Amino acid sequence: MIQGTIALIGCGNMGRCLLSGLIADGYSIQRLRASDISADRLRLITNRFPVLTSTDNTRIVQGADVVVLAVKPEVMKTVATTLAAAIGRQRPLVISIAAGITTRSLSQWLGPEVAIVRAMPNTPALVGSGAAALFANEFVQEQQREIAELVLRAVGLTVWLDEETLMDAVTAVSGSGPAYFFLLMELVERSAIEMGLPRDLARLLTLQTAFGAAKMALEASVDTATLRNQVTSRGGTTEQAIRVLQDAGLSGIVDQALKAAQRRSQELAKLFGES
Ligand SMILES: NC(=O)c1ccc[n+]([C@@H]2O[C@H](COP(=O)([O-])OP(=O)(O)OC[C@H]3O[C@@H](n4cnc5c(N)ncnc54)[C@H](OP(=O)(O)O)[C@@H]3O)[C@@H](O)[C@H]2O)c1
């Protein structure tokens, strides 16, 4: 296990989830620190884990080998510029999980030649089943890549991107993705109730089917189109349902939806990122 002091800035949903993931993975509590603007939120952490906390971000960063920035994109510039002097002195690896904030913007705020990994996790990280894409700038060393993976792997799977521009596509696919699947589950559940199934049964059957389908697809050696064909018998019930979805233009709608998310990700990067 890689050792080094990790300072976490921002203890909201994602920050707390990374912290508990690292602790569950056996990362030494003595090597973890956390800061947040809210003393109440920090108390929630110290009630569970005896980690060093402070409302002073600069204090928490002192002596850290890794700094994880888990604040909202709109406050990232303020947080990063305040930490620039400390980071310039210590040269830790900086991991940012903020949506839309590029490594270029972070470099402008944190100072030149800082090793930065930008990561895009998603909400299933809250239950340890996240999917995160990572991009490293040119100053990140091999061992620092391993540390970044260790931090994000604590809450799910990780993949590396060679081009940072692909982060907008990742945002559209896995960042926003849970909501698309929630919507589909919501609609299936609603129809199930309308067809007469009791509410709790409708929910359980819908969710277990979604879970089972995802598990099957992850474990299969064939693509999802093949899996779908395998369960779609000619003249059967599934064929009827799939035909209705396709005739209504589902594939075009999904494509439009993902591209709209990708465009919004690019717009947000401009809004919060470039200074
Ligand atoms: N949630 C997701 O599914 C998800 C997915 C991918 C990426 N992300 C990224 O992860 C980051 C965190 O998201 P989140 O959902 O965890 O947000 P969150 O729950 O709002 O957490 C951010 C935390 O940072 C605190 N904070 C605000 N200003 C601060 C400052 N100057 N110094 C220290 N802490 C400060 C916030 O306090 P206040 O609430 O009092 O302002 C809050 O506790 C965001 O950049 C987001 O883009 C989130």
DSSP 184-211: HHHHHHHHHHHTT--HHHHHHHHHHHHH
| Burial class for 76, CB neighbours closer than 10 Å (0-12, 13-18, 19+) | buried
- Rounded to an integer, the average pLDDT of 211-222 is 97
pLDDT for the residue numbered 2: 67
H/E element, 97: none
Q: Which atom of ligand 1 is nearest to the CA of 41?
A: 43
Q: Which atom of ligand 1 is nearest to the CA of 10?
A: 24
Q: How far is the CA of 162 from the centre of ligand 1 (A)?
A: 26
pLDDT class of 273 with cuts at 50, 70, 90: confident
Same domain, 133 and 244: no
Encode pLDDT of 224-237 as tens digits: 999 999 999 999 99
pLDDT class of 268 with cuts at 50, 70, 90: confident
Which of 119, 143, 167 lies at the terminal end of a domain, its last residue? 167
Q: Which residue among 35, 54, 71 is best mutated to probe the pocket of ligand 1, counting the most ligand atoms within 8 A of its Cβ?
A: 71
Same domain, 262 and 180: yes
pLDDT for the residue numbered 1: 56
DSSP lists the bridge partners of residue 53 as: 34
Same domain, 157 and 221: no
Closest CA to 11 of 74, 53, 62: 53
- Number of domains into which the chain is organized: 2
pLDDT for the residue numbered 236: 94
pLDDT class of 213 with cuts at 50, 70, 90: very high
Domain range enclosing 119? 6-167
Q: Is residue 1 domain-resident? A: no
* pLDDT at position 272 over 90: no
Q: What is the CATH number for 158?
A: 3.40.50.720
Quick check: CB of 137 below 6 Å from ligand 1?
no
Same domain, 40 and 162: yes
Q: Is residue 250 domain-resident? A: yes
Q: Is residue 274 domain-resident? A: no
pLDDT class of 274 with cuts at 50, 70, 90: low
- Rounded to an integer, the average pLDDT of 69-92 is 95
Same domain, 77 and 189: no
pLDDT class of 259 with cuts at 50, 70, 90: very high
Same domain, 160 and 192: no
Q: Is residue 138 domain-resident? A: yes
- Residue 71's Cβ-side half-sphere holds a number of Cα atoms within 13 Å equal to 20
Which of 167, 186, 220 lies at the terminal end of a domain, its last residue? 167
**Percent of the chain whose predicted confidence (pLDDT) is above 90:** 95
- Rounded to an integer, the average pLDDT of 103-121 is 96
Quick check: CB of 79 below 6 Å from ligand 1?
yes
Q: Which of 24-28, 34-38, 210-214 has the lowest mean pLDDT?
A: 24-28
H/E element, 136: strand 130-136
* pLDDT at position 95 over 60: yes
Q: What is the CATH number for 228?
A: 1.10.3730.10
Same domain, 150 and 185: no
Averaged pLDDT of the chain: 95
Quick check: CB of 176 below 6 Å from ligand 1?
no
Same domain, 135 and 184: no
